[in-house]
Structure 1
Amino acid sequence: MRLAVLLFCMAVCGLAQANPVSLIPLPAELQRAQGSFKVGNGMSIVVPAHDAAARRSAQYLVDLIARARGLHLQIQEGNAAPHAIVFRRAPGAGAHVEGYTLEVTPQSIHVEAGDDAGLFYGAVTLYQLLTPNSEQGAVQVPALHIVDWPRFAWRGLMLDSARHFQSVDDVKALLDQMAQHKLNVLHWHLTDDQGWRIEIKRYPELTRIGAWRTPPDAGHDGEPQRYGGFYTQAQIRDVVAYAAARHITIVPEIDMPGHAQAAVAAYPQIGVTGKRPPVSVDWGVNPYLYNVDDATFQFIDNVLDEVMALFPSHYIHVGGDEAIKDQWKASPAIQAKIRALHLKDEDALQGWFIGRIGNYLSAHGRRLIGWDEILDGGVPADATVMSWRGADGAIKAARLGHDVVMSPSPDLYLDSVQSDLPDEAAGRNPVRDLENIYDFNPIPSALSAAQAVHVLGAQANAWTEHMPTMQHVEHAVFPRLDALSEVTWSPAASRHWSDFLSRLPAQLERYAAQKIPYADSAFEAEIEVDANAALRRGQASVTLVDQVNYGAIHYTTDGSTPSLHSPLYSQPFTVTLPDTIKAATYASDGSMLAAPRTRVLDRADLLSRLGVELPNCPGSDFRLRVQPMPDATGMAPVYAVNVFDTCQQYMGAPLGGIRAIHVDAVRLERNYALAHDIKLVVSRPHTTPYGELVVHEDRCDGAVLATLPLPDPAHSGRRFALNASVNPTQGEHTLCLVFTAPTDGPLYAIGRVSLVPANMSKGTP
């Protein structure tokens, strides 16, 4: 059945063609024609004389295709030549802003556009046509005619450099990929509680103090003594110019009035209390706000002056989100200010605050954009709203006449995990997989046609609390950025999920050629068995599935690495225990969609569960995948935690003949600022100094099957083992595993829980 589906998709999607048109995003209009045009080494790209922008786009193509395919093309100025690639200005091709036409005939290739961006995007499309696979050298480009333009003006990605810092080269690498996806806005999150990343020459303490934090447990277990960094103004100018050359505008975000702890750490007088806090090490919502006196506004104005000098973007992002008002409420001076301004409350004061900043930006020819909380207290008439708390903010803003950028959580939050597979990287739940992103509609259905014109576009966000390295960021962003690019560029009516999947293998090969460590979660072969049935029978029925049900899964049962010559999975198969299953997913062209995954099927494996496989106990669906230290440099290990309730369940545990339980556990930093949600944290009584892992049978208030005391943190490693004997019982039961550690101390998580049968050798988990 699976093979039949694959063959059908190949026929429908055109995968069986010798030269499939694997373009992402899908052009607005594309027509195939007869024949092809061969592009080889030394071919000319002809550009108009004295047209610097056309030459830059051509040079971009020359450089990119040389790196990706080893093809070396030559640029020449002048009139169109036969058997050449021609870049040309054509007013008719510019009917749409950023639009272009691209025509391939057996005699030549012509790229035409009415504006600079159109020529550039034509070059990007041609690059994809020249890289239909991973081969090197000459390529046959199928004859076709493309008329293309973007659906939305704002096609964005947000990079959070405040929580974790990326190098200039890292940012440029991301800009390169954005350009190849026809995205045109990098929203650069540069300040927050955990770091101030932009040099402000008038206020050097912002980077001398605010750009650095002392991590929890600094200097232990690989955690650095000091973490941070910042971008000099020279570096920022370089990055802005690099982006502009790729037709990407960088919109900086300087958070206010909340998320201000790093700034207040540098200059306490701009805060509410006048006291100097440390730069925060806690993810979440911290309490520090800007003051609202004249001196603080002068500080902010001076900062914005330098920001505007560095970033020519029309928009300046001022944050405005998650500003809990406790400090304002507790300040007599600020309460007096509210009364003097005849404001209703602290929300209205935030509206006044944002309004003042908006007026300052307007006076300098700029426009304010902020997260949707800016609507709560009133907002300047020309402000643009970035909707992150679902679509409600966008709907409210558009109905009020404000322009809107759709960026809702969790729909477009790329720090959300891409799967619930055991080897998925760190991130937040719920899962937002490739198809979730592709299905996103930037136009809320509640808006009328007249209101919908206020939707400028959409943006995905790469928040980095749980993405400490660029490898994490790239894993989270790619290939979900392909889905976003098609959502924001291609006509809604022409987008089809199966067709998108058929075009994705070539894009994955482009990533591989550029050494982009993309996530293969969508295609990963999951090796599924009914563990308890296998234990009873001594045999396992194995099912192989992948998230998107696309591609061909090849597998082995002898421990060898699967290849295209290995058996093709079509239906569940049976193996005798013990056995080792390996499986990998391939595209129809033979390229690998997902690296091989392995599962050892033996008694120990079937009697154990990884912590990331154990669901939360009923009552709280909050869940994170985190690493042992906040500033980890590797991708693994990863642990599942619920910071509100440290309770997980082992469903259907086969307790017959089990004499003991073994748990590999880890002690984590409880570096979470929960603000008013702190009241939701469940605290349980403990009977030993550091708490216990208590195992309940059947229900979380059921009989205690085992109690495993937690060791003294001062005299044990971060990772440790817990063991306890259990009384003999029969049947399958749900185990409720609850940590009772004090909630003002470390956070604990399960690496693996193993059931130890009576006939297993002592000391073997």
Structure 2
Amino acid sequence: MLRFLLVFSVFISSCIFSQKKLNLIPYPQKIEFSEGEFTIPKALILSEYLPKEETEYFKKHFDKAFTFKYEKNQNKVHIVHSFYPPTISHVSNKDDEKKEKYSIYISSKRITINSYTKQGYFLALQTLIQLFEQYKDSGKIPAMKIEDEPKFAWRGMHLDVCRHFFTVEEVKQYIDYLAMYKLNTFHWHLTDDQGWRIEIKKYPKLTQVGSKRKESMIGAYVDNTFDGKPYGPYFYTQDQIKEVVKYAQERHITVVPEIEMPGHALAALTAYPELACTKGPFEPATKWGVFDDVFCPKDETFKFLENVLDEVMTLFPSEYIHIGGDECPKTRWKECAHCQELIKKNNLKDEHGLQSYFIHKIEKYVNSKGRKIIGWDEILEGGLAPNAAVMSWTGVNGGIEAAKSGHFAVMTPGSYCYFDHYQGDPATEPNAFGGFTPLDKVYSYNPIPSELNKEQAKFIKGVQANLWTEYILDFKQVQYMIFPRLFALSEVGWGTADPKNYKEFEGRVINEFKVLDKMGVNYAKSIYNITGKVTAANNGVSYELSTSQDPNGIRYTLDGTDPTVNSQVYKSPVSVSKSLTVKSAYFENGQLKSAVSSQTFTVSKTTGKKITLEQQPSENYSFGGAFTLVDGIIGNQRQLGKTWLGFPGKDVVATIDFGQKTQFSEVYFNTLDNKGSWIHFAKSAQIFISDDGANFKMIKEIGKEEILNAKGKIKLTIGNQNSKYIKVKIENAGIIPTGNPGADSKAWLFVDEIGVN
């Protein structure tokens, strides 16, 4: 057995360590404490037999704290590293599952690290770095045994560099963050409608033309405003790609490139319009969203993509090549004589079958090169390619379908894993894409769906979070959006996240902020802000405030004034029985320590009442469930945050029980219009009343014209009514019409509060 030695000086100490939980992220699978401690020295003696790259990485973390010396004399060694089995080259396929497994034994005289591979050794060093950071002030690490390995083989982070570009050095920093917290996959989104970011030598116009756009959308999507500034040309040369891949390999991170097809292709079609179904002209998109012009499935297109993939596969040694496959409108294919003939010739059912034909053809080529494809869950349309893996983003159903059919899946549902969503109160956060995915929600995610049995669950390859950059203009904002949520993702992927102990995890997160501070990372401090939970109560709702800090530090007002003046100490949930604005903040020793959180309640006769929905919202936009529609909070039409429910292709049919017969004469609700994200105003709405909850009578109906004229802010006068139940049916716009982003797909319907006066 080879033994590699990392040596430290040791001093005797009489300190006895408590059995408290360590400040490690992700938390190891097993820790056992024992008596004694290891004293951290100033001079570190390293065995010259240690794996060089990994050990040099370790040294860089402490180049200012310690002096280092390599030495052959093993008698002085107090920290030992052993590979098992005896040589890495003889690791069997069976043991390949253990390539990330390691153990650390810390006694008063030495630290011993065991692993099967250099990757396992590298992961052990990450744990050791965190232990040194935690105990640097005391200078003594408690004696313990750590036995550790990840639950999931794929633990990934994605970065979109198409909407906004990031330099090679910034991408390297991103990779460093992944390595620090034991993630092992970097998904690099390199092509899209808004920009082509990878040099392809055979097709120089891809970067000459496709890597720049005339301007960019700014602000909220509904504002429809642009900066008027040319963006680009921005792209990575092949030498830069090689540099990044090598950098990642040194940190045992696999880089998975994404080349989008058949949709999200405008930048490529601008450079080579002959690959489209129409003649164009085209230009890289300046707006965000989905566009009708996609790759046409003809011979020259497949030859182009094969040539592109040849160069991509030469640059990236990853097992998987990501081919996108998402959000591909079928509008152009329906109008294209060639596409219709292809459908007929190959006995395809429809355009969805043509998408499957497209993906199968690409997969066959990639497989011929010894690689595999992975794509977003839309590649399931029309039938999944034989060896393809699925990245399940629209929810968990794509992963479930893939696993049940014997295909690998990476779980990345937007409701838990989209880090472009808001992570705190949208009113106090920078502009984001929408949704609401706070730290505790990420931490609560279980990547294995309950619908799968034990054998099917083996096909869940792992978990990944995605960072789309429509609203992320620079790398400081990248940092803000991934931290601290990356900590939660890390522990979910490692398999040690325990939602029941979230508060304990939250404490470790706050402790880890010291490391981010030292690194100069611009992380989100939303965790310090006051959060509010709304629940039903007599005559309205109850508003419970909480904080990651001492709850006695919460102060609030009920009249909308700033809590720094004449506020009261929070002791129990606030009763909300009339319209008011609660402003709250956290204070220490009389000093404001958080942002001021504000929540306005508009109380009506439905507020806090029992509500049922015939169809449930998308899990990506379902925060609070049906109760969101009667919690007294009216949504902001410029922010798709936690106050909205989103329904893909579904009507909203909500029944509200007043509890007793109630008089009312007005009904109100809001819907949204954000066509770039496939969100359309409602088509119609009907109001019904009932005394028994079974037999309903319609009392009011409005059509699309009235909804458009009201710009989605619906307020209906319905005459004097007196009933125990009210039912509100809000009709989805249906299939998106031609000429709109996502044409021929199902529209989304977003609704907020349903109020009655």
Q: Same fold (TM over 0.5)?
A: yes
Q: Residue 462 of structure 1 aligns to a residue in which SS? A: coil
Match for residue 321 of structure 1? 326
**Contact residue 26 and residue 496 of structure 2 kept, 8 A:** no
Asked if residue 126 in structure 1 is aligned to residue 123 in structure 2, the reply is: no
The residue number in structure 1 matching 2:451 is 446
**Residues 223-372 of structure 1 mapped to structure 2, 5 A cutoff:** 223=227, 225-228=229-232, 229-372=234-377
1:558-588 alpha-carbon deviations (Å, 9 max, x no partner) = 99999xxxx9976689xxxxx99863479xx
Cα deviation per residue 1:166-211 (whole Å; 9 max; x = unaligned)? 1212211111110011000011111111111111111111111111
Shift of 1:599: 7.5
Report the Cα offset of residue 463 of structure 1: 1.4
SS of 1:411's equivalent? helix
Partners of 2:563 and 2:584 within 8 A in 1: no
In structure 1, give the amino acid aligned to 2:263: G
Query: Which residue in the other structure is 1:407 paired with?
Result: 412
The one-letter code of the counterpart of 1:71 is A
> Cα distance, 1:673 vs. partner?
2.6
- Is 1:522 aligned to residue 527 of structure 2? yes
Match of 1:597 in 2: 595
1:55 aligns with 2:57: no
What's the counterpart of residue 168 of structure 1? 168
Question: Structure 1 residues 180-189 or 504-513, which shifts more?
Answer: 504-513
The CA distance in 1 between the partners of 2:82 and 2:550, in whole Å, is 40
Asked if structure 2 preserves the Cα contact closer than 8 Å seen for 1:40 and 1:71, the reply is: no
Q: Which moved more, 1:140-149 or 1:332-341?
A: 332-341
Partner Cα distance (2:202, 2:532) in 1: 58
Q: Is the Cα–Cα contact under 8 Å of residues 370 and 385 in structure 1 kept in the other structure?
A: yes
Match of 2:183 in 1: 183
Tell me whether 1:498 sits opposite 2:492 in the alignment.
Answer: no
Sort the Cα spacing of 1:683 and 1:196 in 2 relative to 1 into closer, same or farther, 3 A. Answer: farther
Q: Structure 1 residues 290 and 543, CA, compared in 2 at 3 Å: closer, same or farther?
A: closer
Deviation at 1:273, TM superposition (A): 0.5
Q: Shift in Å at residue 47 of structure 1?
A: 3.6
CA distance in 1, matches of 2:203, 2:452: 44
The one-letter code of the counterpart of 1:26 is Y
Distance in 2 separating the partners of 1:380 and 1:599: 49
Counterparts of 2:451 and 2:601, CA distance in 1: 50
2:216–2:287 Cα contact (<8 Å) kept: no
CA deviation map 1:23-79 (0-9, x unaligned)? 1111111111122212132222x3452x5xx2222221221234xxx4124152535
Cα deviation per residue 1:297-351 (whole Å; 9 max; x = unaligned)? 1111111011111111010000111111110000112111222222221111111
Deviation per residue, 1:594-642 (Å, 9 max, x gap): 9533479xxxx99999xxxxxxxx9999999xxxxxxxxxxxx995369
Is the Cα contact below 8 Å between 2:424 and 2:436 reproduced in 1? yes
Separation (CA, whole Å) in 1 of partners of 2:674 and 2:375 = 27
Change (3 A) 1:470 1:289: same
- After superposition, residues 483-632 of structure 1 pair within 5 angstroms as 483-491=488-496, 496-525=501-530, 545-546=545-546, 549=548, 551=550, 554=553, 583-584=586-587, 595-598=593-596
Aligned CA distance change for structure 1 residues 28 and 620 (closer, same or farther; 3 Å): closer
Post-superposition offset of 1:461: 1.0
Partner in structure 2 of residue 143 of structure 1:
143
Map 1:94-113 → 2, pairs under 5 A: 96-113=98-115
8 Å Cα contact 2:374-2:391 kept in structure 1: yes
Q: Which moved more, 1:420-429 or 1:153-162?
A: 420-429
Cα gap change, 1:40/1:298 in structure 2, threshold over 3 Å: closer, same or farther?
Answer: same
Q: d(CA) in 2 for partners of 1:169 and 1:418?
A: 26
> Distance in 2 between the 1:285 and 1:456 partners?
28
User: Cα–Cα, structure 1 residues 75 and 451, in superposed 2: closer, same or farther, change >3 Å?
Assistant: farther
Distance 1:695 1:116 in 2: 60
Q: Residue type of the partner of 1:583?
A: Y
Share of identical aligned residues, percent?
A: 34
Evaluate the alpha carbon distance shift between residue 355 and residue 572 of structure 1 in structure 2; reply closer, same or farther with a 3 A threshold: closer
Q: Distance in 1 between matches of 2:379 and 2:357?
A: 10
Contact 2:27 2:491 in 1 (8 A): yes
Could you tell me how far 1:382 is from its partner in structure 2? 1.2
Cα distance change on mapping 1:163 and 1:126 into 2, 3 Å: same
Structure 2 letter corresponding to 1:640: Q
Equivalent residue for 2:695?
none
What are the Cα deviations for residues 664-719 of structure 1, in whole angstroms up to 9, with x where unaligned? xxxxxx985356958869976799xxx999999xx45599xxxxxxxxxxxxxxxx
Which SS does the other structure have where 2:312 is aligned?
A: helix
Do the aligned partners of residues 79 and 119 (structure 1) sit closer, same or farther apart at CA in structure 2, a change above 3 Å counting?
A: farther
Q: 1:98 to 1:347 in 2, by over 3 A?
A: same
Instruction: Give 2:66's match in structure 1, choosing from 49, 63, 72.
Output: 72
TM-superposed CA distance for 1:217, in Å, is 7.6
Q: Note the aligned Cα RMSD (angstroms).
A: 4.4
Output the CA distance in 1 between the equivalents of 2:431 and 2:185: 26
Change (3 A) 1:262 1:585: farther
Q: Distance in 2 between matches of 1:550 and 1:76?
A: 45
Is it true that 1:435 corresponds to 2:440 in the alignment? yes
Q: Separation in 1 of the partners of 2:374 and 2:340? A: 27
Alpha-carbon spacing, 1:701–1:73, altered in 2? closer, same or farther (3 Å):
farther
- Distance (whole Å) between structure 1 residues aligned to residue 241 and residue 33 of structure 2: 43
Alpha-carbon contact 1:100-1:147 (below 8 Å) kept = yes
Q: 1:425 aligned to 422, 426, 430, which one?
A: 430
Provide the C-alpha distance between the structure 1 equivalents of 2:510 and 2:388, rounded to a whole number of angstroms. 41
Measured in 2, the distance between the counterparts of 1:244 and 1:127 equals 19
Q: Structure 1: which amino acid aligns with 2:246?
A: A
The aligned amino acid for 1:23 is L
Which protein has greater RCO, CA pairs closer than 8 Å, 6+ apart? 1
TM-aligned CA distance change 1:238 to 1:679, over 3 Å = farther
Question: Is the 8 Å Cα contact of residues 41 and 137 (structure 1) preserved in structure 2?
Answer: no
In structure 2, do the counterparts of structure 1 residues 375 and 597 end up closer, same or farther at CA, with 3 Å as the change threshold? closer
Write the letter of the residue equivalent to 1:212.
K
Residues 263 and 221 from structure 1, CA distance in 2 versus in 1: closer, same or farther, beyond 3 angstroms? closer
Deviation of residue 466 (structure 1)? 2.4
Change (3 A) 1:494 1:475: closer
TM-score with structure 2 setting the length: 0.71
Q: Do the aligned partners of 1:286 and 1:675 also contact (CA within 8 Å) in 2?
A: no
State TM-score, norm by structure 1: 0.70
Q: Secondary structure at the match of 2:151?
A: coil
The one-letter amino acid of 1:38's match is T
CA change 1:408–1:502 in 2 (3 A) is same
Structure 1: stretches of 5+ with no match in the other structure:
1-15, 530-541, 574-578, 587-591, 610-617, 625-636, 646-669, 704-743, 746-765
Q: Which residue of structure 1 lines up, in the alignment, with residue 81 of structure 2? A: 87
- Indicate the SS of the match to 1:252: strand
Contact 2:216 2:229 in 1 (8 A): no
Identify which range, 387-396 or 424-433, moves more after superposition: 424-433
Gap change, CA 1:572 and 1:325, over 3 Å in 2: closer
1:185-204 correspondence runs (5 A)? 185-204=185-204
Residues 1:35 and 2:36 are matched in the alignment: yes
Secondary structure of the structure 1 residue equivalent to 2:188:
strand
Residue 399 of structure 1 and its aligned partner are, at CA, apart by 1.4
Letter matched to residue 39 of structure 2: K
Aligned CA distance change for structure 1 residues 553 and 347 (closer, same or farther; 3 Å): same
Instruction: Give me the whole-angstrom Cα distance separating, in 1, the residues matched to 2:484 and 2:455.
Output: 33
